[in-house]
Chains A and B, each alone.
Chain A
Amino acid sequence: MIKTGAEILIECLKNEGVDIVFGYPGGQVIPLYDKLYDSDLRHILVRHEQGAAHAADGYARVTGKVGVCIATSGPGATNLVTGIATAYMDSIPIVAITGQVKSHLLGKDSFQEADIVGITMPIVKHSYIVKDIKELAATVKEAFYIARTGRPGPVIIDVPSDIQLSSIEYSPLTEIKVKGYCYDDNFINGNVDEMLDLIGKAQRPIIAAGGGIIASGAHNELLEFAEKLNIPVVTTLMAVGAFDTDHPLCLGMLGMHGTRYANYAVCQCDLFIAIGMRFDDRVTGDPGQFAKDAKKIQIDIDDAEIGKIVPVDMGIVGDAAKILGEALKRLSCNPVNSDRRDWINRVRELREEYPLKFEESGTLKPQYVIKRIYELTEGKAIITTDVGEHQMWAAQYNKSKIQRSFLTSGGLGTMGYGFPAAIGAQAAFPGKTVICISGDGSFQMNSQELMTAVRYNLPVIIAIVNNGYLGMVRQWQELLYNERYSETDIKEQPDFVKLAEAYGAVGMRVTKKEEVDDCILKAINLRKTILIDFVVDRFENVYPFVPAGSTLDNMIGG
């Protein structure tokens, strides 16, 4: 059948199982939007393209599918960049479709022309500019295949508007072959027996679970592996929810704002088993001193991650669930030593000695707000966060135990991520409770998306932990820069309640501890877009705190 480029694009998206796209029209994607108008593909109109990229990312994180966003050429495309970089750093599969000026205008600094493929090259897994309509269908298929397989990541497809308008005979592709890229689900490169041997010999092993556990869906394998071998588990920020925090083997988050007991345990272990985590500097502190008495095993789907930051004694390349599954299979016929009474006792002592704590009396504490959100939702809500102090408190006090229910910008640390990501998550699961825990600074980076949430009746709850500061920077200034609070006091705020109301959302304000529960419960039950402005203690800091580049046992506070 003869179809236009725009029609082919939509057909191809549907063939890939896409049900929702997030986007914003503009001159060079009108042909695509014109065909969307007639299609049954659900389009969610954001109010800024950055919101579209983050929403697609949020959708991808909760569903495990590829998120899709659409923007026009030039400024539309460049507005996606922060969202694409965020997805790249956290290995989230998204496909970004950008309109481009007509082929014959390319390279002439035409109106709204930007070389988006060139601009995004360092922050995508791969990118395409489609210069021939014959390549369009194969390009879309390749893009989705590349985005979702192996180490997932963002892929961009730039489509000149004349390609969207031109026509060709189209029949759906069933197979593609990408020369130079081939992903095999079952590929394992490394010696699983040798790993089990090392674990059997270890007295004080520890597992560090990263975002790869979630990407691979290795939740159950990890639990069984840890239980069978009796190994305590620490998680990175990206793996919050990947291992039940209430489990006796769980030590919570490690790193800069990790628990004292997680960091001490890492410093004392003799075998460090990294699974799907990439030794980010926020996790390791000084990499030269990281778990320095321990042998290290690293499991990762990306060969280039093995030993990139911290040298390891052995690496296994492959999918985490497959590798752990393989290990469990071998353990059932050939068990190794799993008696670690002393180590488990030691870890339990550490946990009892250095619990996460905060002062509950006096003014409203941000930690209390997050703790109550967690308790009142029974840990079942999908939580998204922005970036800053509230993000770390959320990671500490929201003890998620469900995979894909804690969405946060880990690698890039993108303020403004949380709210549009919550919109993406809520669009994917309209019936679930989705709460964006944000800061007064972060929220203002994408507050315009209130209109999007209201227009589509998405009952996202925005919980602003409002301290009138760019709190994380303020905290560094207090502790490391002699209390010189350069440009971090943002006491002059919009009235967030009125702001919400201006967009047709519900606004509420909480200033006292006694009001917290009622307000959260009311928000959960109302099923509307709701913003709650929690006015909290201005000077509360996130503890514990490992200063950047220091060693993990050198913690301040907590």
Chain B
Amino acid sequence: MKHILSVLVNDTPGVVTRVSALFSKRNYNIKSFVGCETHIPGTSTLIIVVYGDDEIIEQITKQLRKLIDVIEVSDITQKKHVSRELVLIRVKADTKVRSEIIQIVDIFRANIVDFQNSSLMIEATGDEDKIDALVEALKSFEILEIVKTGEISMVRKNV
């Protein structure tokens, strides 16, 4: 089962290594790992997506909490949350197929961010399903390159 862990850490050198090393040491697989500064100076949030049964996730969570630089760990999978990925896709696009591709881009509310004679670069944000669906739709053309970020997530709540 997919789990999204939101981990608040001290923004110290090596903290990402400590967290990721814990995963490799314990033989857990990471699907995606995104880190960024927060609004609180000196802290970062890591959004880690992992697959595993409840026991494994519990163990991962507890091991994470033991790291000195980890301030807080929450598994937000079961909470209402918003998840986003960002993707950049370069597609081969000559004049014959260009309009068709632009239509698809519109349907997905994606953007064209680079326009060349024979290719287009498309930018899209969305949850994993949307990004997968867009990539699938563009597969009937020739995809030249894909770059994707990991997933970031935030809990919906009334503060």
Contact = CB atoms under 8 A, between A and B. Distances in A.
Nearest to B69: A180
B14 interface: yes
Interface in B90-123: none
B3 interface: no
B10 A179 contact: yes
A412 to B, nearest CB: 14
A121 B18 CA distance: 7
Nearest to B8: A180
Contacts of A118: 14, 17
Interface stretch (A32-40, A302-310, A502-510, A542-550): A302-310
A180 B10 contact: yes
Contacts of A129: 13
B interface, size bucket? 20 to 34
Interface in B64-90: 65-71
B8 to A, nearest CB: 9
B70 A304 contact: no
Interface string A92-126: 00000000000000000000000001100110011
Contacts of B55: 307, 311
Contacts of A311: 55
Interface string B15-44: 001100110010000000000000000000
A400 to B, nearest CB: 31
A180 B14 contact: no
A129 B9 CA distance: 18
Contacts of A303: 62, 65-66
A122 B66 contact: no
Contacts of B65: 303-304
Interface string A300-320: 001110011001000000000
A122 B14 CA distance: 13
B149 interface: no
A304 B68 contact: no
Contacts, number: 39
A interface, size bucket? 10 to 19
A122 B25 contact: yes
B68 A146 contact: yes
A179 B66 contact: no
A304 B17 CA distance: 20
A237 to B, nearest CB: 23
A308 B59 contact: yes
Interface string A168-212: 000000000011110000000000000000000000000000000
Given A180-B10, A304-B59, A304-B62, A125 B68 contact: yes
Nearest to B12: A128
A24 B15 CA distance: 30
A180 B68 contact: yes
Nearest to B26: A122
B14 A117 contact: yes
A121 B9 CA distance: 16
Interface in A147-187: 178-181
15 contacts: A121-B14, A121-B17, A122-B21, A122-B25, A178-B68, A180-B9, A180-B68, A180-B69, A180-B70, A181-B68, A302-B66, A303-B62, A303-B66, A307-B58, A311-B55
Interface of B: 9-10, 13-14, 17-18, 21-22, 25, 55, 58-59, 62-63, 65-71
Sorted nearest first, the 10 A-B pairs with minimum C-beta distance are: A304-B62, A180-B71, A126-B68, A122-B25, A181-B68, A121-B21, A303-B62, A304-B63, A180-B70, A122-B21
